[in-house]
Structure 1
Amino acid sequence: MSKGTKLILFLIIWLGVSRIGFPQAGDPEVRPNSSPYLLLDKGLQYRITKSINSMYNFDFATAERDFAVIMYQYPTHPLPDFLMALGYWWRIEVDVTNTRFDDIFIRYLDRANEKSERMLKEDPKNKEAAFFLAAGYGFQGRLYSERKSWTKAAFAGKNALKYMDMSRGEEEFNPELLLGDALFNYFSVWIPENYPLLKPVLALFPKGNKALGLQQLETVASNAFYTRVEAQYFLFRLYASEEKRPYDALRISEYLHNKFPNNPYFHRSYARHLYTVGRWSESVNQSQEILNRIDQKQYGYEANSGRYAAFYLAEYSYRTGDRAEAKKYYQKTIAYGEESVSQESGYYLHALIQLGKMATEEKNKAQARKYFDTVKKYAKRKHPAHKEARDFIKKNKL
């Protein structure tokens, strides 16, 4: 499957995934429930808030005890199974190359989907059932795409879109449904801008508006009750990569790290954005804390986060002229990259190039050649790192 087709698939999957999120402490005042849908039960939302915050903060034991109580109280409803699945998704999100949680994640989503389908069979107009099916199939599709199971991913994405359309029309769901509209508006324009050959494919979709999509995403991130964290997650990634607004990315990642200080994904994103805007000493402090937590075997802190943190420490040491520290942390970047099977990542390849250059300075051409050969082994030929390695070998006669 081409990279462009994969992007289309991701768009479909994101639309499904983005249909659901959960409350945070400090959100709008809870009012008496007037909706027949459990998802909109204000009393239950109030009870769930602390549990959801525990989940985002990687205190899964606390969160899942509460989810189990909800499952006991509502055994035929998809909500508790979906909550359990969401907890496993965040375990996966930290390092998507790790497959050990895949089976249990899919199992909980299957259970949630089965319960939703039974609800829909009893009441074909049940918007809540369609809401959960859109989210459930969306998350399944996202995982299958990560695993390159394209047929399964396409099937899940198609179902996510189908149930997303069915979930429309319930006024109380509208603030949360805005996230899906935001992502569609943004990416339906972004994809043909970056991949012109896909314009005929996008012609099959409604016309999007990238500026409106970003505005809608900001609205959800600021005002939504259910989807706020998920919107913030998408928003800081777009700010950092596509929109070239690093300070806005930093603002959101700092908020998320402060709110969920034990979430390793938010932690390493905060360190990254500090480094990007030049707040290097703060990035160094956060990166060192990440490595300390890995050494202490804190849950969720593993090789993938270590690769990020070690790289920022290496770059800082190199910039400040401490070659010994730089070499130590570039080597740690390599070790963490190999442990997490991330040899094609930019940080891993750049660390090899820097180590190769330092070995050349030390007149150790044999070692330098090994570093550059490793770059050529893992980087695609058109990758800038591959070209830099080839050019350096030729120029320095390695």
Structure 2
Amino acid sequence: MRALIMRFLKPLFYIIVFILAANQPARAALNEKLIQRGVDLTLNMRFEQAIALFDSLIREYPQDPAGYFLKSAVYFWMYTQDVRMADVAEQFEKISDQGIEAAEKQLEKNEEDLDAKFFLGAIYGNLGRYYIMNSSWIKAYWYGKEGKDLLEEIVEADPEYYNAYLGLGIYHYYADILPGVIKMLSYILGIEGDKKKGLEELKLAISKGSFVKSEARFFLAMTYMYFEYNYLRARDLWAKLARAYPENTFFILSQARCEMYMNDYPAALQLYKKALARKDARLKFAMNRAHYFVGQIYFKMNRFGEAVEHYKLAVKNIPPKDGKRHWIYAWGMVHLGESYEMLGNRAKAEQCYRDVAGKEEIYAYMQGAVKNARQRLQNPLTWFDKQLIYARNYRETQKLDSALVVLNRLKEEIDSGRYVDKKNEFFYNLGLVYLKKGRTSEAIALFKKILAEQPEEPDWLLPYTHYQIGNAYLRLNKKEAARAHYERAGESDNPRLRIQVNRALDHL
């Protein structure tokens, strides 16, 4: 369950790290240009320089909470990104405590000081997310609720305190879309979900906020990419952020991931290589992730030798986290094994599969990798499996005619009564190609063959088949038929599929 929470909340960890006061006259003594310079340094990943600059603010204005918050936010940003610098977590906690003390003293003098409330709420918000990351749920609840309440007090007192709408928008959006226990947690915190309101609040922060514009754009890009599935808008936002902060490797990596979602693999590959060329030793896991996704790209391009090299780099020197294997290691080894199999090296593939199949210290949510590895050990890739992989890769890289050539060859095998156990996966892949080529009725007919069989394995096949039938019926403007299949797909326990289904239902 912790993994599910982290899957949905981690984008928040990246976001609310520099929520500054919009009404600066109350803090006119602070040098706004100096503050903006510090924010820009941080977003360009010049952390040491940003810390030094905010230290100068603290020395000049030791009673003002702004400097403490800004400095703590640098450490929080580094912590959420796994930046390898000494004592990051310890420094974040220490400086946050100092900021809380400074803000509370300001409020003792003037309980209506909105800026002091804002910085206090911002520090509470970061501490809440920090404790979620560390599974300290009681602390996370307390700090999260305090931070949210302060934001509401601010906008109630001054509706034009525009930067406060960034934090409120994030809360309102996530409380509406997150499933299960996370939504229940939002309810406990007293946060009403309203994603439309959240998006409007976010846009208000972008248009009328002061120092939060880049952070608001960042969140909007994350939202469009991971939850709204509006990849065109997300790509434009990532590109704008990357131009504004060219030294921020994470913006480049995020743009690359967006290009992958849009199946523009050449563009994604170029961006990942740009990030990898920087060889930033501070960003160990980010670089491993980049190699992992480059491995995926080369695999999808049917360039398995190059995929092997990047998967090897992806799993290299990844230390256990909390005594358990990282997901990059688990899935990286599985995909490395598959790449070796595609190259005809079953012996090396088995070594990779065994490394994962025998591990019990992998996080529970990575048991899919363990299951996959064990299946691969028992069932080597057949000629048919490999051809199906070629066809799928051609389809995903938009080489539909090449995909059809391979699939038509496989159809002869299926029609001859061979590879019966693979026919449903074959129907699914051929159906997707037909759907992309506009042969919608033929696609539906193939998908319905799968439904008639009701296969139990692979476990993803039935829900995704319902989802694709829903997409097909929607193309034919048969909305009620589409709705019925979307609802069946939504019964899946796959969180990503459920989000896709909910989005599809919202647009019916």
TM-score range, shorter chain: 0.7 to 0.9
Q: Which piece of structure 1 moves more, 164-173 or 351-360?
A: 164-173
Give the one of 81, 91, 109 matched to 1:94.
81
Mapped pair 1:74 → 2:72: no
For the residues of structure 2 that align with 1:126 and 1:169, how far apart are their CA atoms? Answer: 13
Give the one of 126, 147, 162 matched to 1:175.
162
Which deviations, in whole Å up to 9, do the C-alpha atoms of 1:271-324 show, x marking residues without a partner?
222222233223222222222211xxx464x22121222123222322333322
For the residues of structure 2 that align with 1:331 and 1:10, how far apart are their CA atoms? Answer: 29
Mapped pair 1:163 → 2:150: yes
What is residue 247 of structure 2 aligned with on the other side?
A: 262
Mapped pair 1:283 → 2:268: yes
Mapped pair 1:109 → 2:96: yes
Instruction: Give the AA of the match of 2:127.
Output: Q
8 Å CA contact 1:352, 1:375 repeated in 2 = yes
Structure 1 position 86, deviation (Å): 1.4
Structure 1 position 115, deviation (Å): 0.6
8 Å CA contact 1:303, 1:339 repeated in 2 = no
8 Å CA contact 1:85, 1:108 repeated in 2 = yes
Unaligned runs of 5+ in 2: 383-508
Which deviations, in whole Å up to 9, do the C-alpha atoms of 1:325-353 show, x marking residues without a partner?
211111111116448888442x5443322
Which deviations, in whole Å up to 9, do the C-alpha atoms of 1:2-45 show, x marking residues without a partner?
667x58x969x969x8495249xxxx9xxxx983x11xx39732
Which deviations, in whole Å up to 9, do the C-alpha atoms of 1:68-126 show, x marking residues without a partner?
33223212111111111112122223227988300111111111110111111122222
8 Å CA contact 1:19, 1:176 repeated in 2 = no
Percent identical across equivalent pairs?
21
Q: Closer, same or farther in 2 for the Cα pair 1:141/1:111, shift >3 Å?
A: same
For the residues of structure 1 that align with 2:274 and 2:17, how far apart are their CA atoms? Answer: 34
8 Å CA contact 1:22, 1:52 repeated in 2 = no
What is residue 19 of structure 2 aligned with on the other side?
A: 21
Instruction: Give the AA of the match of 2:79.
Output: I
Q: Closer, same or farther in 2 for the Cα pair 1:339/1:290, shift >3 Å?
A: farther
For the residues of structure 1 that align with 2:100 and 2:365, how far apart are their CA atoms? Answer: 43
Instruction: Give the AA of the match of 1:121.
Output: E
For the residues of structure 1 that align with 2:185 and 2:40, how far apart are their CA atoms? Answer: 43
What is residue 271 of structure 1 aligned with on the other side?
A: 256
Instruction: Give the AA of the match of 2:19.
Output: G
8 Å CA contact 1:333, 1:351 repeated in 2 = yes
Structure 1 position 384, deviation (Å): 4.0
For the residues of structure 1 that align with 2:335 and 2:45, how far apart are their CA atoms? Answer: 35
What is residue 296 of structure 2 aligned with on the other side?
A: 315
8 Å CA contact 2:58, 2:67 repeated in 1 = yes
8 Å CA contact 1:307, 1:336 repeated in 2 = no
Structure 1 position 147, deviation (Å): 1.8
Secondary structure, counterpart of 2:97 in structure 1: helix
Mapped pair 1:143 → 2:130: yes
Mapped pair 1:325 → 2:283: no
Q: Closer, same or farther in 2 for the Cα pair 1:275/1:14, shift >3 Å?
A: closer
Q: Which piece of structure 1 moves more, 201-210 or 79-88?
A: 201-210
**In the TM superposition, what are the counterparts of 1:227-376 in structure 2 within 5 Å?**
227-294=212-279, 298=280, 300=282, 302-335=283-316, 337-338=318-319, 343-345=325-327, 347-361=328-342, 364-376=345-357
For the residues of structure 2 that align with 1:19 and 1:365, how far apart are their CA atoms? Answer: 47
Structure 1 position 196, deviation (Å): 8.0
Q: Closer, same or farther in 2 for the Cα pair 1:131/1:352, shift >3 Å?
A: same
Mapped pair 1:389 → 2:373: yes
Q: Closer, same or farther in 2 for the Cα pair 1:201/1:187, shift >3 Å?
A: closer
Matched positions, count: 376
Q: Which piece of structure 1 moves more, 108-117 or 351-360?
A: 351-360
Which deviations, in whole Å up to 9, do the C-alpha atoms of 1:177-204 show, x marking residues without a partner?
212332232122213xx22895697388
What is residue 131 of structure 1 aligned with on the other side?
A: 118
TM-score after normalising by structure 2 = 0.65
Secondary structure, counterpart of 2:163 in structure 1: helix
Q: Closer, same or farther in 2 for the Cα pair 1:273/1:299, shift >3 Å?
A: same
Secondary structure, counterpart of 1:370 in structure 2: helix
Secondary structure, counterpart of 1:124 in structure 2: coil
Q: Which piece of structure 1 moves more, 360-369 or 207-216?
A: 360-369
Structure 1 position 163, deviation (Å): 2.9
Unaligned runs of 5+ in 1: none
TM-score after normalising by structure 1 = 0.81
